[in-house]
Chain A
Amino acid sequence: DIQMTQSPASLSASLGETVTIECLASEDIYDILAWYQQKPGKSPQLLIYDASSLHTGVPSRFSGSGSGTQYSLKINSLQPEDFASYYCQNGLSAPLTFGSGTKLEIK
């Protein structure tokens, strides 16, 4: 199985700040990686796919980058609705696997 190691586990930031979340795959996943946002009591929502493609309707302050085994999600100019949990996901091969998550909190 491809292991997805996500960091940090939690992150405290202020409105307007820029934050970056990292995801390390245990082997090359050839950019077949997604990022999801999850708010309390809600299902995860797709933000980014293919490492850097923005899903329909997702604000442009979200961006993804990386290649090989190392990927990142960047959120520019944090808005109140961005404080949530974020997960990366290997979409290359089964079993599809998720990172352990990053909880983004307001400072």
Chain B
Amino acid sequence: EVKLLESGGGLVQPGGSLRLSCAASGFTFTDFYMSWIRQPPGKAPEWLGVIRNKANGYTTEYNPSVKGRFTISRDNTQNILYLQMNTLRAKDTAIYYCARSKTTEGPGYFDYWGQGVMVTVSS
């Protein structure tokens, strides 16, 4: 059974940093593209970025809205996906999800999502 479990959320002051983790199980982690997606309360999801699979060199691509502040990485020995968030702003307040791409050929669609973790940026 595929499982994705996020952790690391919480309250952070503006300008601060936070690292989210997503523990993956039930599938061959290195075969899949993995993304982070966030959703402000009551709003639509926003794709933040992707880290590609082993076949594509684990390269990353980001939404311009967070490029330079957010970094996606993965530990392929422990099957963990990370999101490092720096210089956080109030507008970054949202539920953050990790998600697996449906195919092994591109980010495309997301067939499994974690339960989400809340990040609140406030003083």
Query: Which A residues are within 8 Å of any B CB, using their own CB?
Result: 1, 32, 34, 36, 43-46, 49, 55, 87, 89, 91, 94-101
Contacts and interface: CB of A to CB of B under 8 A. Distances in A.
Contacts of A34: 108-110
A43 B113 contact: yes
B76 to A, nearest CB: 22
Interface of B is mostly: loop
Interface residues of B, number: 24
Interface of B: 35, 43-47, 50, 61-65, 97, 102, 106-111, 113-116
Interface of A is mostly: loop
Contacts of B47: 94-98
B81 to A, nearest CB: 15
Nearest to B115: A43
A45 B112 CA distance: 7
A87 B43 CA distance: 11
A46 B102 contact: yes
Contacts of B115: 43
A43 to B, nearest CB: 4
Contacts of B62: 95
B107 A91 contact: yes
A49 B45 contact: no
**Which 6 A-B pairs rank lowest in CB-CB distance, beginning with the nearest?**
A43-B113, A91-B108, A95-B63, A96-B47, A34-B109, A49-B109
B111 A55 contact: yes
Given A94-B63, A98-B44, A49 B113 contact: no
Contact of A44 (B63, B102, B113): B113
B44 A99 contact: yes
Contact of A87 (B44, B50, B108): B44
A101 B44 CA distance: 6
Contacts of B63: 94-95
B1 to A, nearest CB: 13
